[in-house]
Structure 1
Amino acid sequence: MLRFLFLSATLLCCAHAATAQSIDTLKRIADTGTINLGHRESSVPFSYYDNRRQVVGYSHDLMLKVLEALKTELNLPALTLKLVPVTPQNRLALVQNGAVDIECGSTTHNRERARQVAFSVSIFKIGTRLMVARDSGIHDFPDLAGKRVVVTAATTSERLLRLFNEGIGRKFSIVVAKDHGESFAMLEGGRVDAFMMDDALLYGERAKAHEPERWVVVGSPMSSEVYGCMMRSGDRELKRIVDAALTQLMQSGEAMRIYAKWFERPIPPRGLNLNWPASPDLVELYRAPNDQPVD
């Protein structure tokens, strides 16, 4: 009996702690009048700096809409947005330690990460592919034998690429760059033969190229993944508000208008149009938003 009472008390304390954590984030936002939004610096066209070093992009526009919902929910019309740059290497830690309340850029939602942070309903669906020079002779992953391939550090693509390389006979060299901009610079400068990453990000990097027509995205997708916005585990109320706002954007058609702005029209910094209509998978995601990882 005593053991049962102790166990019940322990579970009650844990539940209270989890609830307190979820309330504390919104309380801190309300008390300070500030929300900390994590953004990327070079994840074109999701979250990146334009020519004036202003944060822009598809994910950023979605978050600006979510911010309006938070203002209404918290009755804080003057809520201040503090922008916090994050990298693939530090984004989870900055969410976990409270430096960032919501991170929204191009972060893949998988089960491993879901054990460390909470994710919103998914905001995008991608496939991992290759970008190469048009005349490279590389058309798919088996053509990489003996080549040099760059991938951005601390991404799901890096893990997938290493696993693929371990399982083939004639291997290729893997080069790791700190961010997508550096990865593409290595490809553009001839230091590597291919750049592996999420297809949407590859098209985004192509949009920044000096000669976009030189580069093509090729290969059957090695994986299919979804992006979500990260929050601290246990932030149930914040997640509820974020999910409700994103769901409304998707089902009202507003998210599709934001998509068209960034994927079907000229975008900064060079005014290139990605000319990438929404995939059937993304249309279905908008129709029935969910927060399930794809792995």
Structure 2
Amino acid sequence: MSAVLCVHAQTTTTLDKVKASGTIAVGYRESSIPFAYLDDKAQPTGFGWEICGRIVEEVRKVTERSDLKLAPQPVTPANRIPLLTNGTIDIECGSTTNNSERQKQVAFATNYFYTGTRLIIKTGAPFKSLDDLKGKPVVSTTGTTNFRVIRNLNEEKKLGIDLLAAKDHAESLLMVQTGRAQAFAMDDILLYGLKASAANPADFEVVGDALQVEPYAIMLRKDDPAFKKLVDTTIANLVKSGEFTKLYKKWFQSPIPPKGINLNAPMSRELQENLKNLSDKPAA
């Protein structure tokens, strides 16, 4: 690529790109219930997906492109940042932790959820904490902060855990179901979602104290203040109007597709505070 093209690529904003192409590419996760996942018709849905839908509506207004097309693009923990930075997607709406390391590569909107790493096991298995899993196989999903948390704790505590990597959350849970792993370490809200959507939810239980608390946020490209302002303002308006709380109740405290199971997850103290502060502060 020539120097001229490099400069152009770096200075073209997301709104310019979208207005010129007539399309906004929205990254979503296929199994991050209830944030972004596929419904029984193989269409993306979820809390994050709906919020991104509101953002797309605002982009239509600002760009004056009433014909703006939404192009859904599935992403994984491993490829979500590369696909955003190389322009394949314009925004990522899922269950991505906002942390300092990632902020070196991407930007984040206002934090819209808080979670902690816990474990899901087969019901009745004799494990209640990471310490109980010494020398046992434990799985986490490649490219997640949870994988690094477990790897670091495994080394620090010399637990001898056989840490396995799966390509996505569905595969991680399958490894527990089939006995290839004794536990799956992931954000607790995602574990509750996976349990609720399992063929037999009673087969699994979520255990252990949260190993750390982290914020989720919508991911954007760096150095694009106009687009970040649009996204943050959209979220702020959802909060002020009460729509954010309604969406939360819809996805976390009501029956959700495809099986009509209620996660019964009350809003955390951290999220309640952030709805007042509207901060995009990263985890460490």
Shared fold (TM-score greater than 0.5)?
yes
Does the CA-based 8 Å contact 2:131-2:159 persist in structure 1?
no
Relative to 1, partners in 2 of residues 1:129 and 1:71: Cα closer, same or farther, differing over 3 Å? same
Segment of structure 1 superposing worse, 183-192 or 50-59: 183-192
The answer for the alignment partner of 1:188 in structure 2 is 177
Equivalences for residues 104-253 of structure 1 within 5 A: 104-253=93-242
Specify the code of the residue in structure 1 equivalent to 2:77. P
- The CA deviation at 1:21 is 4.2
Q: Which consecutive unaligned segments of at least 5 residues does structure 2 have?
A: 1-5
Moved over 6 A (4+): 17-20
Specify the code of the residue in structure 2 equivalent to 1:242. V
Q: Deviations over 1:124-170 (max 9, x none)?
A: 11111111122112111211112211100011011110101111244
The answer for the alignment partner of 1:272 in structure 2 is 261
Q: Secondary structure at the match of 1:77?
A: coil
The answer for the alignment partner of 1:288 in structure 2 is 277
User: Over aligned residue pairs, what C-alpha RMSD do you find?
Assistant: 1.7
Q: Secondary structure at the match of 2:189?
A: helix
Specify the code of the residue in structure 1 equivalent to 2:127. I
Q: Whole-Å Cα distance in 2 between the matches of residues 226 and 22 of structure 1?
A: 29
The answer for the alignment partner of 1:86 in structure 2 is 75
**Greater CA radius of gyration, 1 or 2?**
1
Does the CA-based 8 Å contact 1:22-1:237 persist in structure 2?
no
Q: Secondary structure at the match of 1:192?
A: coil
Q: Secondary structure at the match of 1:135?
A: coil
Q: Whole-Å Cα distance in 1 between the matches of residues 279 and 12 of structure 2?
A: 23
Q: Secondary structure at the match of 1:111?
A: coil
The answer for the alignment partner of 1:67 in structure 2 is 56
Does the CA-based 8 Å contact 1:18-1:234 persist in structure 2?
no
Equivalences for residues 15-54 of structure 1 within 5 A: 21=10, 23-54=12-43
- The CA deviation at 1:274 is 0.7
Does the CA-based 8 Å contact 2:115-2:188 persist in structure 1?
yes
Relative to 1, partners in 2 of residues 1:279 and 1:19: Cα closer, same or farther, differing over 3 Å? farther
Q: Deviations over 1:168-210 (max 9, x none)?
A: 2442211110000000111122221111000111011111211
Q: Whole-Å Cα distance in 1 between the matches of residues 166 and 173 of structure 2?
A: 9
Q: Secondary structure at the match of 1:36?
A: strand
Does the CA-based 8 Å contact 1:47-1:57 persist in structure 2?
yes
Q: Deviations over 1:94-144 (max 9, x none)?
A: 111111111111111111100001111111111111111221121112111
In the alignment, structure 1 residue 263 sits paired with structure 2 residue 284: no
Does the CA-based 8 Å contact 1:19-1:234 persist in structure 2?
no
Q: Whole-Å Cα distance in 2 between the matches of residues 170 and 280 of structure 1?
A: 32
Q: Secondary structure at the match of 1:283?
A: helix
The answer for the alignment partner of 2:66 in structure 1 is 77
Q: What is the number of residues matched between the two proteins?
A: 279
Q: Which consecutive unaligned segments of at least 5 residues does structure 1 have?
A: 1-16
Q: Deviations over 1:8-66 (max 9, x none)?
A: xxxxxxxxx99984653211211222111111111111101111001001100110111
Q: Secondary structure at the match of 1:293?
A: coil
Segment of structure 1 superposing worse, 79-88 or 168-177: 168-177
Does the CA-based 8 Å contact 2:29-2:36 persist in structure 1?
yes
Q: Whole-Å Cα distance in 2 between the matches of residues 137 and 99 of structure 1?
A: 44
Q: Secondary structure at the match of 2:157?
A: coil
Specify the code of the residue in structure 2 equivalent to 1:112. E
Q: Whole-Å Cα distance in 2 between the matches of residues 27 and 151 of structure 1?
A: 38
Normalised to the residue count of structure 1, the TM-score between the two structures is 0.90
Does the CA-based 8 Å contact 1:44-1:201 persist in structure 2?
yes
Normalised to the residue count of structure 2, the TM-score between the two structures is 0.94
Percent of aligned pairs with the same residue?
42
